[in-house]
Amino acid sequence: MDSLNLKNRTVVITGCAGGLGLAFAEALASVDCNIAALDIVTEPPTALCQLRSAHGVKVEYYKCDISSRSQVSEVIERVVADFISINLVINAAGIVQDEPFLWTSDHNIEKTFAVNFTGSFLVSQACAKQMVKQYQGVHGEKRAERTEAAIIFIASIATHIASSAQRISCYTASKAAVRGLVAPLAAELAPYGIRVNSLSPGYTMTAMMQSLQKEQPDLVGQFEKETMFGRIGLPDELTGATLWMCSDRLSGWYTGQDMLVDGGASSWKHPAAL
């Protein structure tokens, strides 16, 4: 898909061992992007490794605790050494725990914000420093006339409409903090040709949702009723929006925004009763 103008770009993706991170890696590899995959697990999944032979792109896996500044700095240095440049960042790593607000634990608060917010901040900061170096190496101090790089945060439908089926105030607050980064970072990084946006997915059938479907089928049934299509979204139904936001040719005038892709769940007062 030459129209995307993504061939040979290097994308750093967190949470790449599964879920949306892996789906984004598969979509970007299919349009000839090289993948620098970050996750906390020791070994990368087979599906990630197979992208090399399936699409003829470079794929490297880096074990990293993204809430650790020292680990992030070391890993991004390795990424630059391996790939030479960084063009795109997708912050897909995230965790959620259903816990009543009145009894939310310190552990939940600290862990959720460490992964969802701090991790996204640190990875984006480290990658943006490299993006600025790349820009200045070509353009000097001249302000950007066209965009050349992009950072995408993964927010959530939960920051647009409160859930009556789950008790996820801590998760929602962490994702609201992520959305809060978008506008100020877009303003700060625009002179260097870097766009900054967020994607807010609705209910999506990731491995986490599949586990929830087995453990709490009534809850997932509620999620299904809340969408206009009466079903849970699929990960590949988010990849089109992601590819569009990554492409400077298609979305070069789009920055500082949040894109909500939720099957209409936040747009109507659904008739389902809890």
- Confirm if 167 and 210 have CB atoms less than 8 A apart: no
| Beta pairing class for 10-14 and 88-91 | parallel
Indicate which residue of 67, 156, 174, 251 is catalytic.
Answer: 156
Q: Which DSSP letter does residue 219 get? A: H
* Of residues 176, 187, 129, the one with CA closest to residue 153: 176
175 is catalytic: yes
Q: Which of 120, 124, 175, 251 is catalytic?
A: 175
How far is it, in rounded angstroms, from Cα 102 to Cα 74?
39
Strands, sheet with 258-261, edge to edge from the N-terminal-most edge strand: 59-63, 34-39, 10-14, 88-91, 149-154, 194-201, 258-261
Length of the chain: 274
Cβ distance 198 to 182 under 8 Å? Answer: yes
- Beta strand ranges found along 187-269 (DSSP E): 194-201, 258-261
Residues in CB range of 91: below 8 A, 6 or more apart: 14, 15, 119, 120, 123, 124, 151, 152, 153, 154, 178
166 to 42, 216, 219, 260: CA distances (angstroms): 31, 11, 8, 20
135 is a catalytic site residue: no
Residues 6+ apart with CB under 8 A from 29: 35, 51, 54, 55, 57, 59
d(CA 104, CA 109): 7
Spot the catalytic one: 61, 62, 171, 192.
171
Active site residue 214: no
Q: Which residues are known catalytic residues?
A: 156, 171, 175
